[in-house]
Every structure is written in structure tokens, then in C-alpha cells.
Amino acid sequence: MREFPLIHMSLQISSLLLTMLVMGIVIGIMGFINSKRIFSGIHTKRGIMKQQKNGLSLFGYIWCVITYGGLIYVYSLFYKNPLSLAKLFGSPSLENAYLQALLALIILMILAINASETLILPILMKSLPYWYPTTLMKTFRTAFWSVSEKKDFLRSVTMPLFIFSLISSFFMYMAFDLANVASRRNLSEIIGTLILFLGAPFLIILANTISLTIISSSQRSSSTHRLQIIGFSLTDLLSEKCAEASIYGIIVFIQGVIGNALLYVSILQASYSTHTQMHDGWLSVTWLPAVAGLIVFLFILIVDGTYVCRISLSAQAEQ
């Protein structure tokens, strides 16, 4: 209690049961819809749920328009009269009104990116060869098509890390800037508070990434066998996996920087209206995305490198 802020916590059975009920219903409905789509061949039928070539259905386009429209509207609130914003949210204080607006902005950003991720990821992938140092890695093209083939895994990795980077940046800006916590508490209390709120989401994301990697192990093994057949040596395979891991890390970094930049601009505007001094600069939008990208790069490189070495040693033993 000397390190953490004084927070009175107690377990409420009603809140626990309500959370379990809501999560169970949502997961059950989504699982039913997904299983019906897979086993009944609903993707071949015509209608608003039929997916197009880019992976979005008509309903997906409508949902994208709704989420991005709401995002633009909430973003415009930060450039309106502060008093009208407080009146809109019915908040007694201007700081509380901006806090509610920021929470709404983050939720809409997550919904909008999640709805359009199948459109964003191909654009980012196609832009990589124009500025990525492809001449330094002869296996880049192979890695590029390998990542493109595993679009579901790419989306499953990038989206949770984007959410984690965005929420972490929000708490960081609130702690150091808008709340002026840095002038009233020491650094250990701030770090402890961030760990308290963000430790569990980070463990969930890490467990999700590990489980997805284990599930896709057979696909990775078959891909390595194909590359060996066409003449890739152990050095070439490790170089290809390094390029593949760097692509994952760069995409995570780019998405995180874009999201943090939009969040930083809104918080900067809120600081002007509330006459709060900003301690963080523009460079702060790159810190957490860089850490998330580095974690993804190292994790995928270690996992894939282990598979490559094990398969190569097994092939040598058979020979």
C-alpha cells in the first residue's frame, strides 16, 4: 500500500455473475454464427453476409461506415466549445467530460480498426516492398508471401497488440499529463498503477499469441519442408523467418503509431482546453508500439527459429 494508490476493492457477486452471463451469451452467439458459417457453407450464399474478395461483406461495409462515422464525430468534439462538450456529456467538470470523450474515442477506434482490419492489412503489406530494405534480405519475397498466406494469424496478432498499445498509451497520458500525477506521486506508484491495470490484459494477449502459434505449428512445419525441398539451406531458412518476424513487428509498430498519434492529438487538444501542461512530446507515440513490435519480432523469430532448427536437424539425422 506504500506503492499503490489507496483503492478500496471488494468482490461483488452480482457483478461477477453478470459479467459471466454477458460474456457467456456473447461468446455463445459468436461461436454459433461462426460455426454455422463454416459447416453450412453460408459463405457461398448471396446476401448481406456474403464476403467479397477483400474479406468484407455488405454488412461489414455498413458497420465500417457506422464506426468510422462515430469516430469522426467524437473526434470533432475535441475542437468544439469546451462548455458545449461538458453539456453534451452532462458532466459537472470539464476534465470529466474530456475523460468520457476520450473513453468513447478509444472504444470507437478499436471497433473501427477491428471492422476494417481486413482492408488495412493488405494495404500495409503491399506498401512494404516500396520502403522496406528488400535488397538486404534475399528471402524477403518468400517471407512476404508467407505472411500474406497466413492473413488470419497476422490479424490475430496485430489486433490485440494494437488494442494493448492504445489502452497503455491512454493510461500513460492520463497519468503523466492530464491527471498531473507526476507532480504528486513518485514514479514507482505510477508504474505500479499501470501494472495493476494493464498486467492482466498483457498476459491474456501473450497467452493468445502463444496458443495461436502452437495451433499453426503444423502449417509452419509444412512451409519449412517446402522451402527445404526447393533448396533453402538452414541459413536461408533462418533468414526467411527473420524477415517474416520483422514484417509482423513492423506492421504492429505502424498500426500502433497511427492509433497513438490520433489519441495524442485529442489529448493535446484536451490539455489546451483544461489548461493542463503536457509532459510528453510527439516521440511518446512511438514508445509502446516499438516495444510491442519488438516483442512480436522476438517471439515469432524464436518460435519459428526453433521449428526450423528442429526440422533441419531431423532431416540431417534421416540422411
Q: Is the pLDDT of residue 266 over 80?
A: yes
| Over residues 283-292, mean pLDDT | 88
Question: Residues 276, 178: contact at Cβ < 8 Å?
Answer: yes
pLDDT above 90 coverage of the chain, percent: 5
Nearest C-alpha neighbor of 314 from the set 227, 221, 243 = 221
Give kind and range of the element (H or E) at residue 44.
Answer: none
Please name which of 111, 119, 122 lies closest in space to residue 66, comparing C-alpha atoms: 111
Which segments of the chain does DSSP mark as H helices, in order?
A: 13-39, 58-77, 82-89, 94-131, 140-149, 151-173, 187-215, 217-229, 234-274, 287-318
Is the pLDDT at 257 greater than 90? The verdict is: yes
Give how far the C-alpha of residue 258 lies from the chain's centroid of Cα atoms, to the nearest Å: 11
Look at 98-112, 138-152, 203-217 and tell me which has the smallest mean pLDDT: 203-217
User: Which residue would you say has higher pLDDT here, 24 or 178?
Assistant: 24
Instruction: Dump pLDDT digits (tens) for 203-216.
Output: 777 777 777 766 66
The model scores a pTM over 0.85: no
The rounded mean pLDDT for the chain is: 77
In this predicted model, what pLDDT tens digit does every residue of 41-66 receive, in sequence order?
544 544 555 555 556 677 778 888 89
Coil, helix or strand at residue 55: coil
- C-alpha span between 41 and 44 (Å, rounded): 6
Q: What is the mean pLDDT of residues 69-75?
A: 91
Q: What's residue 136's pLDDT?
A: 63
- The predicted pLDDT at position 163 comes to 85
d(C-alpha 40, C-alpha 50), whole Å: 13
Q: Quote the CA–CA distance of 171 and 193 in Å, as a whole number.
A: 9
